[in-house]
């Protein structure tokens, strides 16, 4: 895909494919190996999760603890970047990936920012976002990525604060069917360009509504090729998948 900006790519008639935490079906999630593999498989972009370390560094990991995906234990927010870098974040997946570390957002952008779009999901709690949003804004400016990333979050208050810091950057509101109605109230004060629903919320009626509102629709997490084809025909703008190779192969047959 030859689009320079994510907005132009989303405005195209193509359905973009984003590797969910990279190509996590075939490599450890949120690792450099998974991100690079997603690119090799032909993905248009990657989705990743960011937390703040104790020394305010943006690190790419899904959980707020390191327990599930490293050989360490403890909360990410309680550990310095140096401590996090000493952990093995690949051996839990398979011996083939032993030695993979927890990457920083800077490292990911340096490696693939020019070739892949990036969906940055904010995982840190609301009380730490003051530090995170400043770090994220600085990182985006430093790498000139304003037009190549989208920031997503389940918390509309966090998105609103980040949008104030980075008005040019696309924002996507993540949600799923079981969220209480009160959770949506802050959206009245948030200008955001995209909705990120769980894929089973999307049908023809949903797409008519989203188009009338002017939203891009980026769905998660789709690993069934038949469902991916349905969503492409419905006109979603992008599909997040754990297995880009399989979904891309299916869509090429459409």
| Active site residue ranges | 20, 62
> 3-class DSSP state for residue 245?
helix
Beta bridge mates, 59: 51, 104
Phi, psi of 127 (to 5 degrees): -70, -15
Instruction: Give residue 85's region: left, alpha or beta (phi > 0; psi -120 to 50).
Output: alpha
Q: How far is CA 86 from CA 28, 150, 172, in A?
A: 17, 29, 33
Instruction: Give residue 92's region: left, alpha or beta (phi > 0; psi -120 to 50).
Output: alpha
With residue 50 as reference, give the H or E element that holds it: strand 45-52
Q: Provide the 8-state DSSP code for 17.
A: E
């Amino acid at each position: 895909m030859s689009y320079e900006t994510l907005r132009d790519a989303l405005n195209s008639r193509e359905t973009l494919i984003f590797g969910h935490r990279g190509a996590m079906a075939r490599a450890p999630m949120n690792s450099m190996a998974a991100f690079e593999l997603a690119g090799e498989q032909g993905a248009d972009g990657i989705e990743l999760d960011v937390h703040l370390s104790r020394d305010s560094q943006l690190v790419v990991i899904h959980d707020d603890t390191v327990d599930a995906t490293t050989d360490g234990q403890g909360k990410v927010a309680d550990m310095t970047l140096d401590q996090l870098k000493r952990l093995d974040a690949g051996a839990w997946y398979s011996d083939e990936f032993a030695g993979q570390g927890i990457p920083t957002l800077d490292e990911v952008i340096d490696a693939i920012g020019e070739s892949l779009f990036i969906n940055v999901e904010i995982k840190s709690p609301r009380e730490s976002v003051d530090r995170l949003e400043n770090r994220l804004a600085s990182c985006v400016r430093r790498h000139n990525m304003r037009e190549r990333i989208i920031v997503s979050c389940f918390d509309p208050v966090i998105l609103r604060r980040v949008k104030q810091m980075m008005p040019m950057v696309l924002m996507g509101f993540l949600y799923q069917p079981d969220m209480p109605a009160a959770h949506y109230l802050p959206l009245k004060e948030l200008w955001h360009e995209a909705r990120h629903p769980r894929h089973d919320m999307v049908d023809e009626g949903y797409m008519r509504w989203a188009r009338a509102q002017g939203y891009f629709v980026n769905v998660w997490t789709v690993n069934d090729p038949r469902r991916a084809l349905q969503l492409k025909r419905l006109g979603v703008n992008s599909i997040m998948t754990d297995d880009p190779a399989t979904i891309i192969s299916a869509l090429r047959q459409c």
